Amino acid sequence: MPRDTSERPSALRPARRLATTACVAVSCFGLLALIPAASARPNHVSRTSPAPAVEPAPAAAPPAELAPASPSPASGQSAGPAAPSQTPPRPTPKHAQRGGANQTPAVGGSSRTGASGGASQTAAGEDPSQTTTSGDPAQPPAHRDRSQRAHARASAPTKPAASVESSPASAEQQSAVLQESTAQADAGRQRGRGHHKETAGEGKHSRESGKRGKEKSKQPAPPSAAPEEPTLETAVPAVAAAAPVTIASIEATPPAQAPVQDAAQVSVAGVSAQALDSPARAAGHGASHARAARVPRRTHRALPAASEPALAFATSAAHRSRASASKDARGAHDGGSRGGSSPLVRTITTIVDVVPTPVRLLIAGLLALALALAARSYLAALRARSLERQRAQLLEDVGLLQAALLPSPPARLGPVGTSVAYRPAEGPGAGGDFYDVFALEDGQLAVIVGDVSGHGRHALPHTALLRFTLRAYLEAGLSPRDAVQTAGAVLERQLGGLFATVVLATYNPRERILVYSCAGHPPPVVIGAGPGPAAIAPLTVCASPPIGVGVRTGTRQTVVSVPGRSQICFYTDGVTESRVGTELFGVERLVDTLIELGADASAPAILDSVVRHADARPDDMAACLLRIEGGDDAPSVLSEELELDGEEIASERAERLLLACGVERSELAEVIRSARAAAGRNGTVVLELHRTDGAPHVTLRRDRLAYLHARRASVEAAV
Amino acid sequence: MPVAFGIAQRQLDQRTSVISCEGELDLSSAPQLKWMLLDSIEAGHTQVVVDLSLCTFMDSTALGVLIVVKRSLAAGAQMAIVTEHASVLKIFELSGMDGMFAIFPTLADALARPAQNDVAEAS
């Protein structure tokens, strides 16, 4: 997992990267600490009695501790340089541990090693005479080497012994056993004792104290019972734990006499058990070794003094591998080097070794926490990236959606300059406006501007429905009025209670004719650049109602001639209903704005001007501006169309429009009579009022939406 | 800036209620008109008169409210608008809704002949 985290630090944010780096660092350290601990723990935990397990000394397990699995070969290898003849293969520590006293051959070696170990230990210490012991011809080279390591082992408890705390009873009990075995060992190993009289005396001392301890504890360790003794069993794993501390202590401080004695005592105890156990006088290497390592923790208080020879007994084959580590650390003493371990590793090992178990557990816990946090951080980073992608996608979608309702047309469509603009409302009325400007296949230009009631997101589907439906009708070749009327008839049901105001327009560049039809929507402002009236005055009487109010719409259409340079501005009521003080912005101000902007006029500029002037904008604003090039000829209305059915003809509507268009009252009755007759035949009639050149001319024609009338008839029949 | 708006309802008889508006009918005041109209219709009034005589302005939102309420009227129920104000009339005309509502210059006219006008005007 740490690797995972470190593999992609660049993808993480700086803070997260820092945290991850810290996590990785902690993880590395924790792993270093954990590996030895993990290898040592199984033995340590399962076999050691609870009380000692808490002790700091056993907790420290060096890389050599891995050796319970790789024992003798390692020791032999490391012993190589020190002694010409390598140590013969030894039973594995595990074996030794289990074998205990049964491992007779090993026992012999062990005891011998213990003796020489004691000698070499002294040599390392203060007694110069020990050198002779090391060089004792009677001792095989391998043994000598072993003894050196044994010495290291024996001195191991120096440091831990100081900090060890165990129950006196158990310590004494242990020491009693040790004393017992020491006596035997001493008997067999005259050489060691003879060479180190001083330590031998101390060993006696310790033996005596061991006996005292035995008496106190009242729990003798009979030779036969020794193998089964729990201490033996539990002691074995403890060895592994004890060894590292030895290394550390050796490196840290020169062996002091008193601690050494303690250690010696321990060793004695360890070996003695086996000595009692086995006729060969020496316990199995593993067993004795194990005891040697374990005992110090328990007995150091009870046994203040230890004999030098006793140190030798502490040595075992299993320990040799570990001892080699310590020997390595004390390179001068051993004169040998350990293959495959760099100073860095040794340093780290040394550091790690002195870490007590609680701290290791803490580190392990922190490591787990760090890993968890790193994993969490990594997942969070992944999720953040995913969310970022989703957000970008969403924004893109929203952009596409908005573009669907408010497209961006090209700046020019043929000879006509086009621009569109949209400004959402400040208040709650946002949404609902839509526009479209596009070129038709026949070269005409089409404009759609509308406003759906029921603002906001809820109006969006209906807004889209309207825009594309109206566009389709215009693309199909319907005139603006026919398109509005068809949409009014078809979409009423689909608008779901909403209604919409729209203005549809087509512009024919060749004929310079603008045709537009409104449904409840304000007509476009058309202003010319030349002299004369600034803007045409469209007739608003008899305007068509919005789409969706349940009334027939698309009944009105206006045709405007645009011979010269002109601006045609379509807009939604948000523009003219903006407030300027207590007044509306109004159409007049819009016209003024267009004139003011002149050649610079564009839809965005218009809306910007409205925003500047208005005090309040309660509704969305949309604008679409067509700029038509040409001379100074002013635009003018060519004709107004009004479609009426029989009932409408009878009402005041037709009359009002005719009067507004300038039809004389005297002609009014005749026109209405003719229209009624035409409507009687076809259902509806279209009145075209041509306003050019003086008196208006009225023509009646049949509308082109027969299919709509048929549809309406069938719907009514069905209902 | 907010313009003062007032609205009041009075019941003339069991089927007729008059809702009078004063001030400006726009986006902010239109909802009040809407709920008062709907309450009146729910109360069983079949002839609702909206008196806009004192309204100086009406925007498309208010027009939308009138359209919605008019469409929610039960069969036989009628709705009349009273106004003489040019800007309000212009809104009705521009939106093509002048043909959809019965619009009277005075309240008296509206109360005098509501039925015929509704039948004649609405289609």
A416 and A290 within one domain: no
B3 domain-assigned: no
The model's pTM is 0.55
What is the reported pLDDT for A568? Answer: 94
A456 and A331 within one domain: no
d(CA A66, CA A358): 20
d(CA A513, CA A322): 105
Per-residue pLDDT reduced to its tens digit, B39-97:
888 888 888 999 999 888 888 788 888 888 888 888 888 889 999 988 888 888 888 88
d(CA A537, CA B33): 33
Per-residue pLDDT reduced to its tens digit, A257-299:
444 444 444 444 444 444 444 444 443 444 444 444 444 444 4
Specify the amino acid at residue A106: A
Q: Rounded mean pLDDT of chain A?
A: 66
Q: Return the residue matching tokens 């002195």.
A: A354
Specify the amino acid at residue A126: E
Q: Domain limits at B49? A: 8-121
A605 domain-assigned: yes
A184 and A255 within one domain: yes
Per-residue pLDDT reduced to its tens digit, A76-135:
344 333 444 444 444 444 444 443 434 434 333 333 433 343 333 433 434 433 433 333
A113 and A218 within one domain: yes
Domain boundary (A615, A634, A653) is at A634
Most B CBs within 10 Å, among A499, A539, A573, A657, to test the B interface: A573
Read off the pLDDT band of A430 (50, 70, 90).
low
**Could you tell me whether strands A556-561 and A684-690 are parallel, antiparallel, or unpaired per DSSP bridges?**
unpaired
Query: What separation in angstroms does the CA of A407 have from each of A441, A467, A476, A495, A644?
Result: 19, 11, 20, 22, 35
Which ipTM did the prediction report? 0.78
Q: Which H or E run includes A569?
A: strand A566-571
B2 domain-assigned: no
Per-residue pLDDT reduced to its tens digit, A463-485:
889 999 999 999 999 999 999 99
Count of CB atoms situated within 10 Å of the CB of B68: 18
Contacts of A270 by beta carbon, 8 Å cutoff, 6+ apart = A178, A181, A235, A283, A287, A288, A289, A290, A291, A292, A293, A294, A295, A313, A314, A316
What is the 3-class SS of A18-75, one letter each residue?
HHHHHHHHHHHHHHHHHHHHHHHHHHHHHHCCHHHHCCHHHHCCCHHHHCCCCCHHHH
A295 and A241 within one domain: yes
Read off the pLDDT band of A437 (50, 70, 90).
very high
A551 and A531 within one domain: yes
- B95 — contact with chain A (CB < 8 Å)? yes
Per-residue pLDDT reduced to its tens digit, A586-609:
888 999 999 888 888 899 999 999
B42 domain-assigned: yes
A94 and A62 within one domain: yes
**Residue B51's domain is classified under what CATH number?**
3.30.750.24
B97 domain-assigned: yes
Residue B48: strand, helix, or coil:
strand
A371 domain-assigned: no
Residue A637, strand partner residues: A560
A542 to chain B: which residues are within 8 Å by CB? 96, 99
Number of domains chain A contains: 3
A160 and A122 within one domain: yes
d(CA A423, CA A431): 10
Q: Out of A72-76, A181-185, A657-661, B19-23, pick the least confident.
A: A72-76
Determine, for residues A651 and B121 on separate chains, whether the beta-carbon distance falls below 8 Å: yes
Rounded to an integer, the average pLDDT of A533-552 is: 83
Domain boundary (A596, A617, A634) is at A634
Highest mean pLDDT among A106-120, A294-308, A436-450, A619-633: A436-450
d(CA B59, CA A195): 121
What is the reported pLDDT for A13? Answer: 52
A706 and A669 within one domain: yes
Residue B104, strand partner residues: B82
Determine, for residues A453 and B64 on separate chains, whether the beta-carbon distance falls below 8 Å: yes
Most A CBs within 10 Å, among B60, B87, B101, B116, to test the A interface: B60
Domain boundary (A296, A331, A355) is at A355
Query: What separation in angstroms does the CA of A660 have from each of A190, A473, A696, A697?
Result: 143, 30, 10, 13
- B22 — contact with chain A (CB < 8 Å)? no
d(CA A514, CA A505): 7
Is the pLDDT reported for residue A371 higher than 90? yes
B30 domain-assigned: yes
Q: Are A272 and A181 in contact (CB under 8 A)?
A: yes
Is the pLDDT reported for residue A162 higher than 60? no
- B28 — contact with chain A (CB < 8 Å)? yes
Q: Which H or E run includes B51?
A: strand B47-58
d(CA A698, CA A685): 12
A452 and A345 within one domain: no
d(CA A117, CA A145): 8
Number of domains chain B contains: 1
Look at residues A435, A110, A439, A395 and name the one whose alpha carbon lies nearest to residue A271.
A110
Phi, psi of B56 (to 5 degrees): -90, -15
Query: What separation in angstroms does the CA of A571 have from each of A121, A272, A519, A614?
Result: 106, 110, 13, 16
A621 and A660 within one domain: no
Determine, for residues A545 and B100 on separate chains, whether the beta-carbon distance falls below 8 Å: yes
Q: Among partner residues A519, A521, A541, which is closest to B93 by beta-carbon distance? A: A541
A687 domain-assigned: yes
B56 domain-assigned: yes
Determine, for residues B67 and A546 on separate chains, whether the beta-carbon distance falls below 8 Å: yes
Per-residue pLDDT reduced to its tens digit, A672-710:
888 888 888 878 889 888 877 677 888 888 887 878 878
What is the reported pLDDT for A401? Answer: 74
A38 domain-assigned: no
A618 and A702 within one domain: no
How far out from the chain centre does Cα A450 lie? 46
Tokens standing for A681?
């035949």
Q: Domain limits at A685? A: 640-719
What is the reported pLDDT for A380? Answer: 96
Most A CBs within 10 Å, among B25, B55, B72, B98, to test the A interface: B98
